[in-house]
Amino acid sequence: MNDHLSPKTRAMLERPIDERVAYIKKDSWIPYPHGTQVLRQLEDLLRHPKCERMPNLAISARTNNGKTRLLRHFMSLHKASDNPDGGAILVPALYLQCPGVPDEARLYDAVLSKLCQKFKPSASAREKIPLVIDVLREVALKLLIIDETNYTESGSVGSQKTFLNALRYLGGELQISIVTAGTEEMMRVIRTVPAVENRFLPAFLPIWEYGDDYCKLLASFEKLLPLEHPSGLAGEMLSTLLHARSGGTIGELKMLLAAAAEYAMRNNIGSINKKVIDACGYISPSKRKSQRVPI
């Protein structure tokens, strides 16, 4: 009974609705071909021996297409170690959100704050860089991940180049690999500095096309929705509808399925169908863009 659910999800059927809704909305990792390929590339970077020119990676994806979820899943597999026999914790990989503007000093602030290091915020980038180098050597960092690097586009061309060259310097000085992640805007910025661009191998998380892989993704999602009866999300009727409504991004698909599943539960409906999808309150990306705020 309830064989359409994973064992953990099946147990959630006995929980109150609010707990089931929270379970649906929490972050979860579902393997898929493009994501698995990028994870493999990240693992290769983490294992790469030190050399003068370390390989780097630039991960590009449309907004809400699973980039950050993938990176956080990777980080969950490579947590810092207390290293009780050593003088400092070991941090194989460090994940940072890119500063809101491409500022070298703010980059160093982010690194030092993440590692709980004391520093003078008003100090110059030149004063902070030795602290950054020392602490990253101390924790034996191998991989530095900068998410939302598309924020660099908000700065001037000069500040963009300074920021990217700071990343290049860290990689060369520490002999670590660097991963940048962002939207296509990030790639435009990286291409403005040839010395940086030729050091970063591009990787892409494309929009989902309708097909077998998409239907497999839906089948995986269905296992995580604590509903009493199978919805048949991977069937032709619902799969084509869900693809059209979500616009082909994994983040939008999860939002849609979460809204539909919550509506079904709160209205004592045992599965998701077209009526539930129509009534759940989800607004597709195309409709959101077309909406205008009344003046």
The CATH number for 46's domain is: 3.40.50.300
3-state SS assignment for residue 263: helix
Indicate if 252 and 120 belong to the same structural domain.
Answer: no
Average pLDDT over residues 109-128: 94
Residue 120 lies in a domain: yes
Indicate if 149 and 275 belong to the same structural domain.
Answer: no
Indicate if 79 and 169 belong to the same structural domain.
Answer: yes
Residue 145 lies in a domain: yes
Contact (CB, 8 A) for 249 and 64: yes
Taking only the tens place, the pLDDT of each residue in 255-270 is 999 999 999 999 999 9
Nearest to 31 by CA among 220, 208, 269: 220
User: Can you tell me the distance from the alpha carbon of 288 to that of 283, in angstroms, rounded to the nearest whole number?
Assistant: 6
Indicate if 134 and 271 belong to the same structural domain.
Answer: no
Contact (CB, 8 A) for 95 and 71: yes
Indicate if 50 and 169 belong to the same structural domain.
Answer: yes
What sign does the CA torsion over 12, 14, 15, 21 have?
positive
What's the pLDDT band for 134 if we cut at 50, 70, 90?
Answer: very high
Q: Which two tokens stand for residue 130?
A: 């030795």
What integer best gives the mean pLDDT of the chain? 93
What range defines the domain where residue 233 resides?
Answer: 7-28+224-288
Residue 170 lies in a domain: yes
Q: At what angle do helices 236-246 and 250-266 cross, to 10 degrees?
A: 120
Per-residue pLDDT, 295: 53
Indicate if 44 and 183 belong to the same structural domain.
Answer: yes
Indicate if 164 and 46 belong to the same structural domain.
Answer: yes
Q: Based on the structure, what is the number of domains in the chain? A: 2
Helices (H) and strands (E) in the chain, counts: 14, 5
Taking only the tens place, the pLDDT of each residue in 156-190 is 889 999 999 999 999 999 999 999 999 988 888 88
Indicate if 55 and 15 belong to the same structural domain.
Answer: no
What's the pLDDT band for 36 if we cut at 50, 70, 90?
Answer: very high
- Torsion angles phi and psi, residue 146, rounded to 5: -115, 110
User: Can you tell me the distance from the alpha carbon of 223 to that of 9, in angstroms, rounded to the nearest whole number?
Assistant: 7
User: Can you tell me the distance from the alpha carbon of 246 to that of 258, in angstroms, rounded to the nearest whole number?
Assistant: 12
Indicate if 90 and 184 belong to the same structural domain.
Answer: yes
User: Can you tell me the distance from the alpha carbon of 165 to that of 158, in angstroms, rounded to the nearest whole number?
Assistant: 11
Residue 213 lies in a domain: no
Query: Which residues share a beta bridge with 203?
Result: 59
Rg (CA), the chain: 22
Taking only the tens place, the pLDDT of each residue in 271-294 is 999 999 999 999 988 788 776 555
Per-residue pLDDT, 258: 97
CA torsion angle 243 246 248 251 (round to 10): -130
Task: Tell me how many degrees the CA angle 77-79-85 measures, rounded to the nearest 5.
Answer: 135
Per-residue pLDDT, 3: 82
Contact (CB, 8 A) for 27 and 218: no
What's the pLDDT band for 27 if we cut at 50, 70, 90?
Answer: confident
pTM: 0.91
Indicate if 67 and 133 belong to the same structural domain.
Answer: yes
Residue 187 lies in a domain: yes
Residue 20 lies in a domain: yes
Indicate if 169 and 97 belong to the same structural domain.
Answer: yes
